[in-house]
Amino acid sequence: MYDVTAMGELLIDFTPCGTSEAGRTLFEQNPGGAPANVLVAMSKLGLKTAFIGKVGEDMHGELLKQTLINNGVETKGLIEDPEVFTTLAFVQLKDGERSFSFARKPGADTQIRADEVNMDILNQTRIFHFGSLSLTNEPARSATIYAVEQAKKAGALISYDPNYRAPLWPSREAAEQEMRSVIKYVDIMKVSDEETKLLTGVEDPYEAAQILLDQGVKCVVITMGKDGAMLRTERFTVKEPSQTRKVVDTTGAGDSFWGGLLSRFAEEKVSPEELSQQQASDFIRFANIVAGLCVEKRGAIPAMPNRDDVMYLYNLKLEKF
């Protein structure tokens, strides 16, 4: 069994890395893509993970595949396609915050078909995780929904992180429609405070979480930046503060947080319905530590912390460090 399988984008983040002698911005080639980031975060925490998706048969695709292998992620569900180019994202950083420009017309990640989804992996996973970037284009949209339905039939816990990226959608209205369309499948969901209105029509995190619970989500986590994170189920609400760290690059911060949280669900073998209030607080504190260590380094996948560093801080049992 795999602890978690993720499906979606696997791409290169070109992250600013100084300037040339002519004063031009230099970019560093960093492997990324939200679902892959989550898997690497979990793999480095000691979990068994697998990826389903598509890259181009090119230098970037080869780097991405090798990166997953080097980080212990199963790649038999990863397809290398000579007909399309691996997706690229160029990241602009200002005061540690990011904006994106994408080379994805189309990118390989949007071209996976339902008949290419590896069913052996889907039938052997405890958690299936996906995001909304694979819903932006066909055939990946239909393939993703097919994978979600099959994983749910096989008994997997369904995890969803909308991860809104405006440049990849034709309009905000299109994003809203597609991102909301899959909520009916979801057991556990992560939403940033910037996405609450898009996903629910309200901005208040508490109210937004209740709307998602009313739609059938069993556990809703709202990330609130410097204010930490809130977890809501039908039975309780918990909040935990963020961790005070020296921020170098926030790329992958949300993915590392979610990898940390999902790792606790997988290790404890607990369903959202069984989750206790104390477990919920511990899970979020653990996830905040993972994210806090991630933002101290550049890139996404290269910045994911190892288990020993996370557990050292977790075992201090301090609210802030």
Residues paired with 153 in a beta bridge: none
Report if residue 90 sits inside a domain.
no
pTM listed for this prediction: 0.93
Q: Is residue 20 part of a domain?
A: no
Regarding beta strands 188-192 and 157-161, do their DSSP bridges make them parallel or antiparallel, or are they unpaired?
parallel
Q: Is residue 242 part of a domain?
A: yes
H helices of 134-204, in order, are: 140-153, 172-181, 196-200
pLDDT at 216 (0 to 100): 97
CA distances from 92 to 16, 99, 153, 166 (A): 7, 5, 41, 15
Question: Is 193 inside a domain boundary?
Answer: yes
What's the domain count of the chain?
A: 1
Rg (CA), the chain: 18
pLDDT at residue 318 is higher than 60:
no
pLDDT at 245: 75
**CATH code of the domain covering residue 267:** 3.40.1190.20
Q: Average pLDDT, whole number, for the chain? A: 93
Q: Is 284 within a domain?
A: yes
Provide the 10 A C-beta neighbour count for residue 256. 32
Q: Do 28 and 298 contact (CB within 8 A), yes or no?
A: yes
pLDDT tens by residue, 73-87: 999 999 999 999 999
**Which structural domain range is residue 235 located in?**
2-8+33-85+104-319
Q: Kindly report, residue by residue over 103-118, the tens digit of the pLDDT.
A: 998 999 999 999 999 9
Task: Give, for 77, the enclosing helix (H) or strand (E).
Answer: strand 73-81
| 319 pLDDT more than 60 | no
| pLDDT greater than 50 at residue 321 | no
Q: Tell me which of 100 and 131 has the higher pLDDT.
A: 131
